[in-house]
Structure 1
Amino acid sequence: MSLIVLFVLIGTPLLLTLTALSLARVRVATGEEWKWVRLMWAAAVLIGGVVAWLLQRGLDLGRGSMLAPAILGVSVVAGVGLGETVVRPRRPAGPRTASLVTRHVTDYLPRGLTAVVVAIAAVHLVTLALTTATASADDMGRAGRQVAAQCGDTGSAASPYPGSFYSGPLTVLLVVVGIATLAALMAVVRRPRGLAPDEVGDDVLRRWSTTRVLAAAGAALAASHAGIAFFAGTALLRMDCQRAWMELVGWALVASVPVALLLLGWLLGRILTPGALPVVRPEKSVEAR
């Protein structure tokens, strides 16, 4: 039953998003090099999947599974960034033009998507800070793997709970995702023109790539939050002895899980079908011989 629910929560918004964005998608003529860029995306995702699988098998007590979404997210981000850094457009023969307009990352970021990703990041980091601060060692002495409370002469504990045992490596990996996202966005915006026949088409490709990068980072955060919130929330709610804050926080965390899954489906849709035509900015060119 849980797999069916997961499929509905992720599959339904993903299907609707793909359908809507496919209808609105702008068709852009691309150069031959764009195929190599896309091949690098696919190669990076494949490598990320292999690394995630190896970590899932190599790390014990669920830490590998917890890191898998972030590994896949950083692989998509790295694939886009490397694809538009390594693949260089061929320079046209004869006189060429050089744009005098400075491109900025903020010119290509979708505002709604950016706001969603920032919100997910904030909620996820607050959740990790809370679980890290309230966790304790389990019965085997592993620090930060359970939550415990004392009520008079009785006590209660529950695990697994995403304290430092889980949040430590995850936070490090999320920092890597953030750095890779910034680097990829800069690579996309600063790459030379030439992946599309004209400047408008090239601008569209930049916006599509920045959308993919941002959506991949957001998907990694959403999937990671869904797992962390589920285990933290259920651990808090099944304790017989609770502190005053535990029940309220537990229900809030559990309630955030379907929201994160719905956002994950939408973000996956943005990765696969990244968007529409951007606003065309007026540019002045100078002839270079």
Structure 2
Amino acid sequence: MALPVLLVLVGGPLLLTVVALAAQSFTRGRVDTRHEWWWVRVTWGAALVVGVVAAWLVDAGLDLGRGTMLVPAVLGLFVVAGVGLAETVVRPQRPTGARTASLAPRRVADYLPRTLTTAVAVIAVVHLATLGLTTATASPDDMGRTGRQIAAHCGDTSSGAGPYPGSFYSVPLTLLLLVIGLATVAALVAVARRPRGFAPDDVGDDVLRRRSSTRILAAAGAAVAASHLGIAFFAGTALLRMDCQRPWMDPVGWALVATVPVALVLLGWFLGRVVAPGALRASSPALPAGSR
């Protein structure tokens, strides 16, 4: 158990940082945007490979389905890390001559697309609310392990179903989601505060900031949406399988199941925004077409 945790929280991000720094050494001082874009995608690929290996180790190292429940969040963590490093470390600052500095403060919120931000916020709130509900309503299983099933008593009869994402699953998942959130905020702040010179002019710099912020935020949204898919499915189906139910279980079970296809659609959209952040305002004709 210690090895997967160490790999995910320490070894994996350090390895990705080394890859990003190596990629930066190949792009430093170059204005070839095709070459830069290739190394950005190499960093993404490295993040995906490291994430798959880390997720496999977590799945194999944690028993009773806890590792499987963490797989989407582990993959999401490395996607966020890979995209964040690609947008803040790999992309080189352009060599420029004398420049004028702007006194206008740059805020993270200025570079976040409204629709994407709203979608990520909504799925995050729904996911955290789901984890709060399942944590509060879970019961020990037949072996006395806390937070592994849902149970109810109806007179002389009782019913239980699992796996149910109570504290046995939700606590490590929430900690991992917290790490993803912190990584996302750190990457967004780095993008907003990085010096000008990544594009031929100031307008182009702002376009690149919006594209970088879009990719980072979309990667975080994909991590949360993928995690919610598994949590909502197992929690909802466990509630609906109960022979003896409390009044709230059936409607909540159907509501959770209903969020599964919504999260799946959002996951596809988020991943699409990572690859292609879309047309953004304030584009500059001086910005090279390959700078994406």
TM bucket, shorter chain: 0.7 to 0.9
Q: Could you list the per-position Cα deviations for residues 136-155 of structure 1 after superposition, in whole angstroms to 9, with x for gaps in the alignment?
A: 11112211000000011110
Identity %: 72
Give, in whole Å, the separation in 1 of the partners of 2:94 and 2:236.
56
Give, in whole Å, the separation in 1 of the partners of 2:93 and 2:259.
48
- Aligned pair count? 254
State the partner residue of 2:81. 78
Backbone CA RMSD of aligned residues: 2.2
State the partner residue of 1:187. 190
Query: Is this contact kept in 2: 1:117–1:218, CA < 8 A?
Result: yes
2:43 paired residue among 40, 43, 47: 40
SS of aligned partner of 1:248: helix
Give 2:153's aligned amino acid. Answer: Q
1:197, distance to aligned residue in structure 2 (A): 2.8
Query: Is this contact kept in 1: 2:123–2:225, CA < 8 A?
Result: yes
Which range moves more in the overlay, 115-124 or 204-213? 204-213
| TM-score (normalizing by structure 1) | 0.81
Change (3 A) 1:103 1:47: same
State the partner residue of 2:163. 160
1:33, distance to aligned residue in structure 2 (A): 4.8
Give, in whole Å, the separation in 1 of the partners of 2:277 and 2:96.
32
Say whether residues 1:137 and 2:140 are aligned partners: yes
Q: Could you list the per-position Cα deviations for residues 103-158 of structure 1 after superposition, in whole angstroms to 9, with x for gaps in the alignment?
A: 11111100000001111011111110110011011112211000000011110000
1:248, distance to aligned residue in structure 2 (A): 0.9
| TM-score (normalizing by structure 2) | 0.80
State the partner residue of 2:247. 244
Give, in whole Å, the separation in 2 of the partners of 1:257 and 1:213.
23
1:59 paired residue among 54, 57, 62: 62
SS of aligned partner of 1:125: helix
Give, in whole Å, the separation in 2 of the partners of 1:253 and 1:106.
31
1:50 paired residue among 48, 53, 58: 53
Say whether residues 1:199 and 2:202 are aligned partners: yes
Give, in whole Å, the separation in 2 of the partners of 1:173 and 1:227.
15
1:211, distance to aligned residue in structure 2 (A): 0.8
Give 1:246's aligned amino acid. Answer: M
Give, in whole Å, the separation in 2 of the partners of 1:275 and 1:71.
26
Query: Which structure 2 segments of 5+ residues have no match?
Result: 1-31, 285-292
Give, in whole Å, the separation in 1 of the partners of 2:42 and 2:185.
22
1:38, distance to aligned residue in structure 2 (A): 4.0
Change (3 A) 1:42 1:100: farther
Q: Could you list the per-position Cα deviations for residues 11-50 of structure 1 after superposition, in whole angstroms to 9, with x for gaps in the alignment?
A: xxxxxxxxxxxxxxxxxx8385555444333322322222
SS of aligned partner of 1:92: coil
Query: Which structure 1 segments of 5+ residues have no match?
Result: 1-28, 282-289
1:151 paired residue among 138, 150, 154: 154
SS of aligned partner of 1:150: strand
